[in-house]
Structures are given as C-alpha cells and as structure tokens.
Structure 1
Amino acid sequence: MIISLLLCFCLSSASSSKLVCHMTNWAQYRPSDGKFTPDNIDPFLCTHVIYALATINSFNQISPVEWNDEQQFVRLNSFKNVNPDLKTLLTVGGTVNGISPFVAVVAKPESRAAFIKSAISYLRTHNFDGLNLAWEYPGHNGSPQDDKERFTLLVTELSTAFEDDARDNRRTQLLLSANVAALAPTIERAYEVDKISPHFDFINVLTYDYHGSWEPVTGHNSPLHRSSLDSGSHIHHNINSSISHWLDLGAPAEKLLLGFPTFGRTFRLTSGITSLGAPANGPADAGPYTRTAGFWSYYEICDFLPSATVEWIPEQEVPYATYASSWLGYDDKRSFSSKVQWMTANHLGGAHVWTLDMDDFSGTFCSAGAYPLINHLRLSMGFPPKPTTTPAPTTTKDPLADICRGRPDGLYENPADKTTYFQCHVGNTYLHHCQSGLIFWDSCKCCDWP
C-alpha cells in the first residue's frame, strides 16, 4: 500500500512522458463483449491514440481498409472535444498480397511525393494530428535491401513536408512516428537509425513477440531481460537488449517508446514439463474472442487464470501460467510496474500499448474495472488522476472542492476521517481511501497501521 501511494509523488515525471495507445479497426468484428469500436475509448486514459490501419493504393495515396473507417475516424477524433490535450494519429501500412505498399511508395521520388501530398491532405481532412508508419520492415519480406536508404529518404521528406505545411497554412505541425523492429539483425538491415531518429516525434519499438508458438520450447512474449536458458541469438530476445541496441545506434532515449502488450502468447506443451523452456508444439487453442491461434487478449487471460498455475520468472520479471497442456507467457500489473521502473531508469520517452482493444476495456472479465492494465500503467508512470465524468451536485456546494485551493500538489490528511486522505493536483481535490484497517499518517504521507 505504501509503495502504491508513493507513486503519487511521481506526478511531475509524467509531464514529458507519452502514453501512446493503439486501437485496431478489426476489433469491431470480435463477437459479443470482445467487440471494440472508438465508442469504447476513455478519452483521458492515454496521451495519444493511434488508429490502425489504413493502406496505400496503387496511386500512392492513403486509402481506408474497412467499409466504415472514415465514420470511425469521426468518432475517435470527437473525443478531442472532451479532452483537448488528446492527440490522434493514423497508422498506415500493413501488406497487400504479402508485400508492404511502402515498397512501391519509396521506389521513386515522384511516388514518395504523391504519398506525402496524399498523407497531409488525408490527415487534415479527417482531423488527425499525425501519421504513424507501419512497415515491417524495410529490406525484409519482399522489400529490396536498398529500401533501407529509401526509407530514410521517405522519413526525411515527410518531416520537411510536415514543417512546410505547418508554416504555409499556419497549422500545428503534424506528428510523425513509426512502429519499428526490436531485434538487432532486423534493425541493422532495415534502418539508418542515426539518420531517421531526428525526424520522428516518437518511435514505437515493438518489444513483444520475442517468443511464440513457432518455436519448439516455451518462451515469454515480452521479457524484460534475458534468461539463463537463452542461447545463440535468443540472448537478444528481450527488452533490455532491444532498447540498448537502438540507443547504441544513435536513437535518443527520449524518442524511444517501450512497447507494453495487453496480450500473451501461448504454447501447447508436449510433456509433463511446464517451466520456461519446456518442450512444445504449436499454440494452445485460440481465444473465444480474438479467435487467432497463438495469442490471447488480456481479458481472455483473465478467464484462464483462475484455473491455472501462475509462476513468476525472476530473471525476466514477467509471469507465465499453465493449465493442462496450455502454456501462456503474458504481462500483468506487476510486470508492467517492473517495466516502468526500467523505462524510467533509462530515460525513455514513454510507453506505447498494443492494444486498447485487448485490455479488459469494458471491465467485464477481470473484476478490476475498465482498462485494468492500462490504468495501472498510467498510474505507474505518474500521470495525475483522470477527471471525473460525474458532475458535482448543483444544489449544495461541495465542501471538499476548496481543500486544495492554493495548496501545492501532494498528499494531505483528512482531519474528519483518518481512513481517507486528499490528493491535490493543480488545485483539484481527489479523495482516496486507505486499505481496510489502515489510517493515513501525514508524517510519512502513507497509509499504515494505527
């Protein structure tokens, strides 16, 4: 309890941090309580929301993927009327017949120019604040090796065009970001890191999918550190190694965002061994809502855990769970806290979450309220309390409203009820309750025994 309270003192640390949350346009097709649309978004949860995914047509112009994308854009961007500080970006990329459309875009100066002109027009028309590039990856999957340098040209030209657009039209400059690889061989083949980094507002490092059912033994989806069981190239399949490599190649720490997955990856055990590194063959059954073999959303994980055996991997600071022949490597509040501590110690620019729609966004499954993982991440990063959506009574003035007027930000005792305390933030008052049996002590600014 004391540790959680101390997090409240980190409010100032969040002032320059980003909490960027991705949403997907295919989540609307999940059944029943798994269906997600922009209407499910909490406008005060994240600093930025990125809408995935739009594509690029044969004329090098941005094009929607789903029949109702442009209607969903309106619903998403309407939240900026509720929270004017919220920023929205559009992810563009994916694949067409297995090939990234960026291969054709970067091939010639005129095709890059057509794409850039289309991007500015499309983003402005649909009220987005920026563009997120999703090319997995230059120099891979049918993309020629020269695309490493061509990607640099695209990023540089986009940045310049965004600057020109802002100046010429007296508009706020559009943001530019990208989803980028986490493994060293891919990074080195795909990017001129020192040349592209200055042009991005932030860089989303995909620090998950390190291990999965394509491998013959169990491994964690998103480990913080290497395991003593790792050998060969697998010693680099972890967050610490990935971020260190980006830094070594010249990326500024404050541009890098650490990826936080709201999903886990599954394996099918083939023996009585259930530990990390246990023999496996393929994935466990697909989840009933995500319906894709090999991974489960966090809300599907919440349904699995009560019958499972949960273990912690101390070396990697992440949990796994097993039941019968199913093995699951996933993230929980404890592992998110560990990653935030590591992220803060390494002075990164913040976090990006894949995805909003795989957390328990409705609070239906995990008995921990809506968005339990992302809300915990937000708290761990030191963001201030979210505004309440419940209007105060209009008939009688709330005596608590003036408690924090003129007071510095911080925690204060409530003389009328020692089991509660006040948090003041920019003049606003928030009432918190101590855990049962504890009272608030002003001497330590914490809840403790009487």
Structure 2
Amino acid sequence: MAPLARSECLFIVITLSFSVGCFTASASAVKAAYWPSGSSSPPSAIDTSLFTHIYYAFLMPNNVTYNLEISNSKALILSNFTTTLHHKKPPVKALFSIGGGGSDSSVFARMASSPVSRKAFINSALEVARNLGFDGMDLDWEFPENPKQMLDLSILFNEWREAIKAEAKATHRAPLLLTAAVYYSVDFLIFGGRRSYPVQSINRNLDWINAMCFDFHGSWDTSKTGAHAALYDPNTNISTSYGLTSWVKAGVYPEKVVMGLPLYGRTWKLKDPNQHKIGSDAVGLGPGEDGVLTFAQVEKFNRRTNATVAYDTVYVAAYSFVGTSWIGYDDVRSTTIKVKYALGHGLRGYFFWAVSYDSEWKVSSAASRAWTP
C-alpha cells in the first residue's frame, strides 16, 4: 500500500448495487489506519479515540528464508509500538502489515508457491506477533499477477488460519487477527491479465479485507486531472462504489469488507488554468513529491497560495486549484459521505492510509463521527 501504486484504466461503465442488510454490530466496527514506519509523528501522538486498529507498515520477509528477520533495534521499535498503543486511553489493537506498495511482489509469489516456504513464513509471522505483543497480522501483497498466484494466495490463507487456530489452542490465548490489504476490485481485468481474488478462502480465513479504494489516477497518467479516490465515476468503473460492490457481488461477506480512504491528495499541472475541473487536460505533475501531498500539506498549500477549493458532487471528491496547480483529494465532506456509504451498505468499517497525514485529526474525526449505526 502506497500512494504510488498503479491502478487499472478500464473505460467501461458498469453499474451495480448492493442488496444487503445494514451491519449493526457496532462493537465490531473497524476504524483503522496504517502508520508508516518512517513517520515523523510517533505512535504516542495518535488520537486513539478515533480508531480501533492501527497497523505498523511495513515488515518484509527475507527473499530466501521467507522469515521476518527482526533486528534488536527493530524489535525495540515494534515492542514500543504495541506497548504504546495498548496503554493509550482508550487502547487500540496493534497489527503489523507485511509487504506494501513498494515491496517486491515476486518474493510473495515464490513464498506462496511452496508448502515449505509458506510454513516458514507463517511460523515466523506468528512468532513475531506473539513475541512483540501484536494483536494480529496483515498481508499487503501488491499484487498476485495471475490465476496461479491467486490460488497460492488462497492456500496461504488456509494454512495461515490453521496455524493461528493451533497456536491459540496451544497457548490458551485469543487467536491473532488475520487481514489483507487488497485491490479496490475483486477482479483484475488488465494489468497482468485477468484474475480474481479467492473469495471462499477470504470468507473462511480472514477477519476482514482492506480494500484500497484510492490511486485510481496518479503520476502514471499526467494527461488528465483525476479524483484518485472517487466514490462514483460517471464514465468508468474506476471508483470506490464499483470496487466495493464487486467484492460483495463476488460473494465476500459485507462484514468482512473494510473501505480504504486516502489522507493524501494527488496533483497535476493544468494545460489551461481556466480549465480546472476533474478530467481537465494536464501536462504533468503538480506540487509535491511525485505529485503527492498529504492532507496536512494540501491544507497548508491552499492557505499559502489562496487556492480555490471546490467540491464535485458527482464524484464525491474535493479539489483545489491555483494557476496551473491542481490537487484532487478527500476532505471532511467527501470522507463523511463515503463512510456513511460504507455503513449504509453493511460493510465492516474503514481504514486510512495513512494516520500521520491528517491535519489536526480533522478528517479522522469526521469519519469517526459519521460511523454511527
């Protein structure tokens, strides 16, 4: 998971709708966020009243042994992460995420292809979780590239869950949580060939999936501005509503689906400063590293430049512009609507990438308030 992950470009209009009851078990709701390990804001600064689960991002297995090799210094950081979050008021669950958008997908493909390497990986992950006080584990494999790798992923989930059950029984402790960060849609129609996630294995083995409903547009396409986390898109199936619908239509239980929300914006350089809507012509990236600004940086940029802030009710997305600079992002209004959408369609909750990108907890607070079953 990273702001630079590539997304599909399928210019097809497909309209689907959920037909499920509302998820009312508010005690089980997920209000999660990922905490990047290089964050300048420490775990102690997190307002845990706004969250239920915080993910440490990221760990990576060795590309030969497939073990999570944790140095003494890293172990100290991870132990501090879990201890801090467990002693906050209120406390939150702490998980670690394995992989991420910048990781080598081939490592996961090789690991998942063999019973021996899967066992080594799973045992190592359980050992790290228990030894360092984590409540669970998350796999962020971006992305399985073909049907064979999806089948291997299914087997990995099966064996991982069995190992969790066996460990919990042997130690008389609560089972560790197991989640996965996944593509916004259950299907990949291009970008490596058609393949689909293993729905039955997900239902059987995972506590929930974190659907990455962002990065629909970005630095890989500088010709048009884009709402990179649009709830709806009138012209394509590249939208949060399409992606979430695809998961439920494929058979994943709604209470196992968690909607991803971005706390960052993507930027473009306008071709014509007078044409500044979503989908306007662009000639390159705008401000920020690789055309990315955190929400806090977006607000600072808007104030400093006196940018015009706008909102598109069709896409359910905010954007701002000044001169040739254009930024698409989620604000309090769009996030509130998207969280209510997830709640109203019976989903388990939402997560943010990433917790340290907010501005004075504005968006995180709005999301928490909006989740009122």
Cα deviation per residue 1:347-376 (whole Å; 9 max; x = unaligned)?
10001111111112xxxxxxxxx3111112
2:268–2:325 Cα contact (<8 Å) kept = yes
CA distance in structure 1 between the partners assigned to 2:108 and 2:357 by the alignment: 27
Equivalence for 2:316:
317
Equivalence for 2:86:
80
CA distance in structure 1 between the partners assigned to 2:103 and 2:25 by the alignment: 44
* Residue identity opposite 2:166 in structure 1: D
CA distance in structure 2 between the partners assigned to 1:259 and 1:332 by the alignment: 14
Equivalence for 1:431:
none
* Residue identity opposite 1:246 in structure 2: W
Equivalence for 2:201:
195
In structure 2, stretches of 5+ residues that fail to align are 1-23
Tell me which of 31, 50, 58 is aligned to 1:53.
58
1:225–1:239 Cα contact (<8 Å) kept = yes
Equivalence for 2:370:
380
1:213–1:281 Cα contact (<8 Å) kept = no
- Decide whether aligned partners of structure 1 residues 377 and 122 sit closer, same or farther in structure 2, where only a CA change above 3 A counts: same
Shift of 1:145: 4.0
Equivalence for 2:302:
305
- Decide whether aligned partners of structure 1 residues 212 and 152 sit closer, same or farther in structure 2, where only a CA change above 3 A counts: same
The answer to whether the aligner puts 1:354 opposite 2:360 as a matched pair is no
The answer to whether the aligner puts 1:371 opposite 2:361 as a matched pair is yes
CA distance in structure 2 between the partners assigned to 1:125 and 1:102 by the alignment: 23
SS of 1:176's equivalent in the other structure is strand
1:60–1:105 Cα contact (<8 Å) kept = yes
Equivalence for 2:220:
214
Counterparts of 1:139-150 in structure 2, within 5 Å, are 139=145, 145-150=147-152
Q: TM-score, normalised by structure 2?
A: 0.86
Q: How many residues align?
A: 340
CA distance in structure 2 between the partners assigned to 1:189 and 1:199 by the alignment: 20
Greater relative contact order structure (CA < 8 Å, 6+ sep): 2
Amino-acid identity (%):
27
2:262–2:330 Cα contact (<8 Å) kept = yes
Equivalence for 2:331:
332
Tell me which of 30, 35, 50 is aligned to 1:18.
30
CA distance in structure 1 between the partners assigned to 2:25 and 2:208 by the alignment: 18
- Decide whether aligned partners of structure 1 residues 164 and 258 sit closer, same or farther in structure 2, where only a CA change above 3 A counts: same
Shift of 1:130: 0.5
CA distance in structure 1 between the partners assigned to 2:97 and 2:53 by the alignment: 12
Shift of 1:251: 0.6
2:50–2:365 Cα contact (<8 Å) kept = yes
1:55–1:101 Cα contact (<8 Å) kept = no
Shift of 1:325: 0.9
2:82–2:94 Cα contact (<8 Å) kept = yes
* Residue identity opposite 1:102 in structure 2: F
* Residue identity opposite 1:218 in structure 2: T
Shift of 1:340: 1.6
SS of 1:153's equivalent in the other structure is helix
Equivalence for 2:114:
108
Shift of 1:56: 0.2
Counterparts of 1:370-449 in structure 2, within 5 Å, are 370-382=360-372
Counterparts of 1:267-286 in structure 2, within 5 Å, are 267-272=268-273, 273-286=275-288
SS of 1:237's equivalent in the other structure is coil
CA distance in structure 2 between the partners assigned to 1:326 and 1:67 by the alignment: 45
SS of 2:188's equivalent in the other structure is helix
SS of 1:146's equivalent in the other structure is helix
Equivalence for 2:249:
248
Structure with bigger gyration radius:
1
Tell me which of 166, 170, 173 is aligned to 2:168.
166
C-alpha RMSD over aligned residues: 2.1
Equivalence for 1:258:
259
1:77–1:128 Cα contact (<8 Å) kept = yes
Cα deviation per residue 1:174-222 (whole Å; 9 max; x = unaligned)?
0000000014542861512233232111110000111123221111011
Shift of 1:45: 2.5
- Decide whether aligned partners of structure 1 residues 76 and 213 sit closer, same or farther in structure 2, where only a CA change above 3 A counts: same
CA distance in structure 1 between the partners assigned to 2:37 and 2:119 by the alignment: 27
Counterparts of 1:30-49 in structure 2, within 5 Å, are 35-49=40-54
1:134–1:180 Cα contact (<8 Å) kept = yes
CA distance in structure 1 between the partners assigned to 2:96 and 2:219 by the alignment: 30
In structure 1, stretches of 5+ residues that fail to align are 1-11, 28-34, 287-291, 361-369, 384-450
Moved more, 80-89 or 216-225: 80-89
Shift of 1:380: 1.4
CA distance in structure 2 between the partners assigned to 1:74 and 1:45 by the alignment: 22
CA distance in structure 2 between the partners assigned to 1:196 and 1:381 by the alignment: 24
- Decide whether aligned partners of structure 1 residues 339 and 67 sit closer, same or farther in structure 2, where only a CA change above 3 A counts: farther
